[in-house]
Structure 1
Amino acid sequence: MSENQLEGGATPGQDTGDEVKKDFKGLIGSVRKFLSDLLEIRSNTDAAATKESIIADIPFKGHTSWILVCSIFIASIGLNANSTAVVIGAMLISPLMGPILGMGMSLAINDIDTLRRSLKNFTVMVVLSVITAFLFFYLFPLRDESSELLARTKPDIRDVLIAFFGGLALVIARAKKGTIASVIFGVAIATALMPPLCTVGFGLAIGKPWYAAGAMYLFTINTIFIGLATFLVIKFLRFPMVRYANSHRRRLIARLASITGILVMIPAGFTFYQVFQESLFKKQAQEFLRDTIEVYQFDGAGRYVDNLTKIEYADDGTSLIEVVCMGDELIPENVINTWRTQKNQYSRLKDAELHIIQGGKDDSEEKFTYVSELYEKNKAELLNKDEQIRLLEAEVASLTMNAGKQIPFQAISAEAKANYENLAGLGFSYQIQTDFNKLDTVPVFQVKWKNGVSNNQKEADAKKMLGWLKLRLQDSTLVVKEVE
């Protein structure tokens, strides 16, 4: 044996290894202590004061009711005027958050009396908010569907995450000794409880219940996930449970609170799953469109109208991807079939239907309908009335320029020349007419007869041509006019 082994029983290499292990353990311990000091919140929590402040915000009467009515009016005016600043102001003064925190806290600490008061006041607040918003939009003469309103009709995965993490931030701020007021204000803005309720009233006032349903769905998401976040934080902070003198009653209340908490979590989890699946579907649909229709090169006047793209998700396998192309150029069928094959390569798009609506296959009325839809969808994002008018005029001018190409004019003119020997020329256009009650677009054929044809013969041929054209084109509104 060597001298080192005899004297110390260990080699220099073993000493080095032990020192490295000791240093590594010390580093891990330091990191753990740093993270504990950084993220630990229990030691600085005032459970009694937090519970007292949350319970104090639950009652809804007197001053609170008037504050709610005023905030609803302010939010409705802001949504109607498409003013983000006004909407934010309404969210800051809204008292809706109190009962939601009360419900989450009462479930966490088995306080059935607080839960009952929270539910009662929450229901009254919601009903009063919807009625107030409905009356405002029903009686107010201006009812533009602003982008601020439409943004509250279609919740997605981001709304779920905002509500949940906003609720976490709010409860943590309320639980801290010396409440952080700026966090409370920020959460009030981020979770946006007031605008969806105003949008519910707006949808009911203008007779569009699907707007109201979408907005109420968003409000429900916000409520459930703020309450869920409150429940989880209160449980994590180990707030003392409410104790009852009667042990049987205490066990019953605990079971009821636990069951209610589970029932709240079930729709929350289901909602999150549904919205998450829809988000993934729309993401793949956008990727598919970027790889296909958006890169397709039209040779003529055709173009893809991305603003009219419709992506609808349904968990029953009836999802839809619908794209609209305007102009007289048709996309070849083999290209569309290739797109359908490419669509099936996306895992979430296999069962979705792909509809390609092309201008050359649509009649005039359908095209003008699409222009109207395009106008309605874009006007919420336009800055002023002049820009809205410019967009509509540009689209109508584009349709007018191609109006003559919406029927097989070349084939019609060839058949007319073969059937009517007195015909010298044929033209076609759409004519806009009105009786000052409604506006109609009438297809008009202009015919020019050869010189020397008698008036009787012209009338007979024109009548015969009119009947033939109506039958040939399946359009009873056709008009045949003679031109010199």
Structure 2
Amino acid sequence: MATLRRYFNAMPDKEDEAETVRAISAGVSFRGATLWVLVFAIFIASLGLNVNSTAVIIGAMLISPLMGPIIGMGLAVGINDFELLKRSVKNYIVATVISVITAMVYFLLTPLDEAQSELLARTAPTLYDVLIALFGGAAGIVALATKGKGNVLPGVAIATALMPPLCTAGFGLATGNVLYFLGAFYLFFINTVFIALATYVGVRMLRFGQRPSDGGRRQSELRRYMAMIVVVTMIPAAIMTYDIVRDTVLKANARRFVSEQLDNAGTRIVSYDVDDDSLALRVVAVGRELTDSAIAAAGRRLGDYKMGKYALRVIQGTESDSVMMLNDRLTTMRTTSENYSAMLREEAAKVADLQDRLNAYVRYDAVAPEVAREMGQLFPAVGAVSLSLSSQAAVDTAAVRRLPVAVVELKGRATLSPQERSRMGGWLKARIGVDTLLLVTTSGGR
């Protein structure tokens, strides 16, 4: 035991206590540059969740200063510094509100509103997240309070992942998904509580000096409240963990039962699933049919696989053929539907292209009367105007382009000077809204 104590004794590596308290207290406040860094980190984390990029999310967690007030709360309780506790709680609330609002604003503006896997991973916390936060917080306070910090703090920031849950909560608010918001905010609260708890325990184990208090009454009340918060925080996570573990064990038992009891030579198990509503294990088998006695004997052995309350339901023969035919039919319908959708998209693109071409030709019919009336006022020599869209083909390359053509018929023997013709061409291009125009003038007798 003496040898173990020598190896695990962290007191010789303890940093100057006053310096540690000063450094943690300085990291509590969120003002000026620190607040801007927090906002930028939230935007980076939101982008990472939006595009499902793990590297971007990790970068945001390294930048985020959110750990400061959480460690400050644990330190304050550990050394009875109630002023530091008030500052830490206040700045924690400010940072949390600003973070959620920033993330919500981003997700309201972004065109990508689909929940990716990185985002969904922050909506269902379990007891394992409690342990991650607890051990991460313990590593963090040990690193802060001792001389050999190394790369511990960046690792703690990544492991505890304070930033992504807040961004996910903002996503839940932006999309109106209350479950996403509650699940993500609960994960963030778990991290907060257990990082602060680990900090408190670490401070006491490292024998930090305590500030004088009023007879220890406030300290005992604070510890009682902390214990209540820890217990209440753990209850939902424990329930979720129990459900996940139970489902995992149940699926493993079902897989083992099917493999050992039903998957015989000549009989192949296509699929199986556990239905909790009807308390039945449904198995679809093909090939050689299982006899009723074999099915009954296998059903009696369900208790050996901790599935005694479930009834065995084997679908085989014509039933399994019907199930497989239904699956094939659904697959065929899905494929056909996708093919029809692709055909409809292709036809819609063709119709849109034809409509654009038609609009290009018809628009000149609509504007020709107005153009003729305006030209009669601007150019008295003009008797009539014809507007159309022609196809021009190059002789050497055979390239075809559509070219607007304006045929202007002059009155009687009227003529246009080069300056008037140039002015007319410029006015027509501006009036019709084109860059190039072929202007043709004819006399009234032709």
User: Over the residues paired in the alignment, what is the CA RMSD in angstroms?
Assistant: 4.3
Q: Deviations over 1:43-88 (max 9, x none)?
A: 3223222211111111112111111111111011111111111000
Q: 2:199 aligns with which of 227, 230, 242?
A: 230
Q: What residue number does 1:86 align with?
A: 56
Q: 1:215 aligns with which of 184, 190, 194?
A: 184
Q: Are 2:52 and 1:119 equivalent residues in the alignment?
A: no
Cα deviation for residue 111 of structure 1 reads 1.9
1:450-461 residue pairs with structure 2 within 5 A?
A: none
Cα deviation for residue 206 of structure 1 reads 2.5
Q: Are 2:226 and 1:257 equivalent residues in the alignment?
A: no
The separation in 2 between residues aligned to 1:332 and 1:401, in whole angstroms, is 35
**SS of the residue aligned with 1:291?**
helix
Cα deviation for residue 251 of structure 1 reads 2.9
Cα deviation for residue 97 of structure 1 reads 0.7
Q: Are 2:102 and 1:132 equivalent residues in the alignment?
A: yes
Relative to structure 1, is the Cα distance of residues 58 and 322 closer, same or farther in structure 2, using a 3 angstrom cutoff? farther
Letter in 2 for 1:235: R
Letter in 2 for 1:134: M
Letter in 2 for 1:239: F
Does the 8 A contact of 2:49 with 2:116 survive in 1?
yes
- Structure of higher CA gyration radius: 2
The separation in 2 between residues aligned to 1:234 and 1:155, in whole angstroms, is 27
Does the 8 A contact of 1:107 with 1:260 survive in 2?
no
Cα deviation for residue 432 of structure 1 reads 7.6
The separation in 2 between residues aligned to 1:262 and 1:319, in whole angstroms, is 41
Unaligned runs of 5+ in 1: 1-31, 313-317, 368-394, 404-430, 437-484
**SS of the residue aligned with 2:30?**
coil
Q: Structure 1 runs of 4+ off > 4 angstroms?
A: 293-302, 309-312, 318-327, 329-347, 349-364, 431-434
Q: Are 2:287 and 1:289 equivalent residues in the alignment?
A: no
Q: What residue number does 2:399 align with?
A: none
Q: What residue number does 2:165 align with?
A: 196
The separation in 1 between residues aligned to 2:268 and 2:335, in whole angstroms, is 9
The separation in 1 between residues aligned to 2:124 and 2:245, in whole angstroms, is 15
Does the 8 A contact of 2:69 with 2:88 survive in 1?
yes
**SS of the residue aligned with 2:12?**
coil
1:327-342 residue pairs with structure 2 within 5 A?
A: none
Does the 8 A contact of 1:294 with 1:304 survive in 2?
no
The separation in 1 between residues aligned to 2:330 and 2:31, in whole angstroms, is 58
The separation in 2 between residues aligned to 1:128 and 1:107, in whole angstroms, is 25
Q: TM-score w.r.t. structure 1 length?
A: 0.58
Cα deviation for residue 361 of structure 1 reads 6.8
Q: What residue number does 1:76 align with?
A: 46
**SS of the residue aligned with 1:199?**
helix
Q: Are 2:80 and 1:110 equivalent residues in the alignment?
A: yes
Relative to structure 1, is the Cα distance of residues 38 and 264 closer, same or farther in structure 2, using a 3 angstrom cutoff? same
Does the 8 A contact of 2:269 with 2:283 survive in 1?
no
Letter in 2 for 1:85: A
Cα deviation for residue 94 of structure 1 reads 0.6
Does the 8 A contact of 1:197 with 1:216 survive in 2?
yes
When structure 1 is superposed on structure 2, of 113-122 and 42-51 the one drifting more is 42-51
1:403-482 residue pairs with structure 2 within 5 A?
A: none
Q: TM-score w.r.t. structure 2 length?
A: 0.63
Relative to structure 1, is the Cα distance of residues 84 and 301 closer, same or farther in structure 2, using a 3 angstrom cutoff? same
Q: Are 2:209 and 1:240 equivalent residues in the alignment?
A: yes
Letter in 2 for 1:234: V
The separation in 1 between residues aligned to 2:182 and 2:78, in whole angstroms, is 30
Does the 8 A contact of 2:285 with 2:314 survive in 1?
no
**SS of the residue aligned with 1:43?**
helix
Cα deviation for residue 276 of structure 1 reads 4.7
Relative to structure 1, is the Cα distance of residues 56 and 243 closer, same or farther in structure 2, using a 3 angstrom cutoff? same
Q: Deviations over 1:352-400 (max 9, x none)?
A: 8999999957998xx8xxxxxxxxxxxxxxxxxxxxxxxxxxx987343
Relative to structure 1, is the Cα distance of residues 342 and 111 closer, same or farther in structure 2, using a 3 angstrom cutoff? farther
Q: What residue number does 1:398 align with?
A: 331
Q: What residue number does 1:174 align with?
A: 144
Relative to structure 1, is the Cα distance of residues 212 and 340 closer, same or farther in structure 2, using a 3 angstrom cutoff? farther
Cα deviation for residue 265 of structure 1 reads 2.9
Q: Are 2:237 and 1:304 equivalent residues in the alignment?
A: no
The separation in 1 between residues aligned to 2:189 and 2:296, in whole angstroms, is 41
Relative to structure 1, is the Cα distance of residues 40 and 83 closer, same or farther in structure 2, using a 3 angstrom cutoff? same
Relative to structure 1, is the Cα distance of residues 262 and 291 closer, same or farther in structure 2, using a 3 angstrom cutoff? same
Unaligned runs of 5+ in 2: 345-446
Letter in 1 for 2:210: M
When structure 1 is superposed on structure 2, of 210-219 and 275-284 the one drifting more is 275-284
Relative to structure 1, is the Cα distance of residues 200 and 230 closer, same or farther in structure 2, using a 3 angstrom cutoff? same
Q: Deviations over 1:147-204 (max 9, x none)?
A: 2112112223332221111111111001103x51510000100111111111112223
Query: How many residue pairs are counted as aligned between the two chains?
Result: 335
Does the 8 A contact of 1:76 with 1:133 survive in 2?
yes
Letter in 2 for 1:99: P
Letter in 1 for 2:77: L
The separation in 1 between residues aligned to 2:74 and 2:312, in whole angstroms, is 44
Does the 8 A contact of 1:108 with 1:235 survive in 2?
yes
Q: What residue number does 1:278 align with?
A: 243
Q: Are 2:163 and 1:184 equivalent residues in the alignment?
A: no
The separation in 2 between residues aligned to 1:165 and 1:334, in whole angstroms, is 54
**SS of the residue aligned with 1:400?**
helix
**SS of the residue aligned with 1:145?**
coil
Letter in 1 for 2:333: T
Cα deviation for residue 331 of structure 1 reads 10
Q: What residue number does 1:50 align with?
A: 20
